[in-house]
Structure 1
Amino acid sequence: MNVDIRIERSVEVDAPFKKVAPLLDDLEGTIKRFPKLRKLTKLGNNAYLWEMSVIGSKVANIAHEVSYGAKYSIDAKRGELSWQPIADRGNATIEGRFKLLDEGDKTKLIFNVRGKLRDVPVPLMYRLLAPPFIQGKFTRLVDIFLESTRDAVLTPKKR
């Protein structure tokens, strides 16, 4: 079964844009905060293959190890990191953007993602429930990513 996902989430950081902007300079460090990311393989300049741990519920027999390739573009002036899928890499096509929005003494982190998960094993009796269930699982992962990214910006670095 193929499952479409579409997520838009945001979180506010109690820090000015200038303090948050280095997130765009550390592409791998920012990506690696994403929960359930098991392995990140560099495919080329700003291109990576994501391999994630199982997402879903083994009890309901809706569990999938998502993998996909993405090519990243950074527009530091606009405070934006965007990505496009790399064809024929993995079992999903995912595209999106991570935007830093300057709000004076605060910065809003905005995360948009959409894509398709292919060949998700779903028992027939759960076919109607699977898409919103999987969407919910991914939405929670995005929320955790945004929260941990916010916390990383606010936590002083040890020297």
Structure 2
Amino acid sequence: MKVDIEIERSITIELPPEKVRPLFQDIETTVSRFPKLKKLVRVADNQYVWELSTIGSRMAKIAHDVTYGAHYQLSADGNELTWKPLAGKGNASISGRFRIAPTAKGSEVFFKVQGELRDVPVPLIYRLVAPPFIQGKFIHLVETFLERTREALLADKAPSAKKKAAAR
């Protein structure tokens, strides 16, 4: 069965955009915060294959080990990271974007992902409920990823604040 995924979320980070941009320059560290990431394999410059641990419920027999490839591209101003699927890599095609916009409180980080999961094993009885169930699982993963990203960026800020206080 094919299952479509489409998720849009945003978070506010109390840092200016120039402090958030490094997020897009270190793809491997950023991606490592994604829950269920089992393995990230670099196949070429800015091209990676993601292998995720099982998503879903094995008890309900709606579970899938997702693998997909993506080619990442950073915008000229450094405020947007986009990715497109790599053909023939895995059992999913995922594209998306990560964008930073300045706000009065710091930065708004927008995240959008869309695509399809292929060959999802779903018993006939669950065919109607499987797509929203799997979408819900992915929404939770994305929200956790964004929160981990915020925490990591704010944690990076904390040591520099301590250094400044110690220098006084």
Q: What TM-score results when the alignment is normalised by the length of structure 1?
A: 0.96
Moved over 4 A (4+): none
* Corresponding letter in the other structure for 2:90: G
Matched, 1:3 2:3: yes
Give the drift of 1:32.
1.1
Alpha-carbon contact 2:24-2:78 (below 8 Å) kept: no
Deviation at 1:76, TM superposition (A): 5.1
Partner of 1:121: 121
Q: Secondary structure at the match of 1:155?
A: helix
Partner of 2:99: 99
- Measured in 2, the distance between the counterparts of 1:56 and 1:32 equals 20
Which residue does 1:51 correspond to in 2? 51
Q: Superposition RMSD on alpha carbons, in Å?
A: 1.4
The secondary structure found in structure 1 opposite 2:65 is strand
Structure 2 gap segments, 5+ residues each: 161-168
Tell me which residue corresponds to 1:149.
149
Aligned-residue identity in percent = 53
Per mean C-alpha deviation after superposition, the further-off stretch among 75-84 and 38-47 is 75-84
- Within 5 Å, give how 1:80-99 maps onto structure 2: 80-99=80-99
**1:105 Cα deviation after fit:** 3.9
Which residue in the other structure is 2:112 paired with?
112
1:76-121 residue CA offsets vs partner (Å, 9 max, x unmatched): 5150010000111000000000111111441111110100100000
SS of the residue 1:149 aligns to? helix
2:3 corresponds to which letter in structure 1? V
| Superposition TM-score, scaled by structure 2 size | 0.91
Show structure 1 runs of 5+ residues with no match. Answer: none
AA at the equivalent of 1:4: D
Is the contact between residue 46 and residue 71 of structure 1 (CA under 8 Å) also seen in structure 2? yes
CA deviation string 1:37-93 (max 9, x = no partner): 100000101000000000001111100000001000011515001000011100000
Equivalenced residue count is 159
User: Which one has a larger percent helix, Structure 1 or Structure 2?
Assistant: 2
Provide the residue aligned with 2:166 in structure 1. none
> AA paired with 2:70?
A
